Amino acid sequence: MYFNQVEFGKRIWEQRSKIGLTQSELANRLNIGHIHMNSIECGRRGCSIDLIIDLSEILNVTTDYLLKGSITTNSDVKRSLMEMKDNLDFLLSKMEEK
């Protein structure tokens, strides 16, 4: 599997649009210029790991989704972790009853 910069940019555009941010608003939140943001979304320019992490947090998706297109979002991960926690709490309470 190879990194596809154009698809990476499309995923950013899709998530940004989904949460109702303009390109300029996202650029401002990332402390980068609008032209730089446009170049990333169009797949003409890459970005640093730090910027990818910031993008994932602002767009509420995982870095895997941005980089590879995996569909797991931060909300999905959080939900899974909460389910695991609930299961562990239940098991712990059963152990304490014995």
The answer as to whether 27 is a domain residue is: yes
Is residue 77 in some structural domain?
A: no
Task: Tell me, yes or no, whether 32 lies in a domain.
Answer: yes
Would you call 1 exposed, middle or buried from its count of C-beta atoms within 10 A (0-12, 13-18, 19+)? Answer: exposed
Q: Tens-digit pLDDT profile for the chain (98 aa)?
A: 688 999 999 999 999 999 999 999 999 999 999 999 999 999 999 999 999 999 999 999 989 899 998 776 667 778 888 999 988 888 888 888 87
Find the domain containing 45 and state its range.
5-70
22: how many CB neighbours lie within 10 A of its CB?
12
- Residue 75 covered by a domain: no
Domain count, the chain: 1
Q: Whole-angstrom Cα distance, residue 43 to residue 66?
A: 12
pLDDT for the residue numbered 73:
65
CATH number at residue 58: 1.10.260.40
Q: What is the pLDDT of residue 55?
A: 97
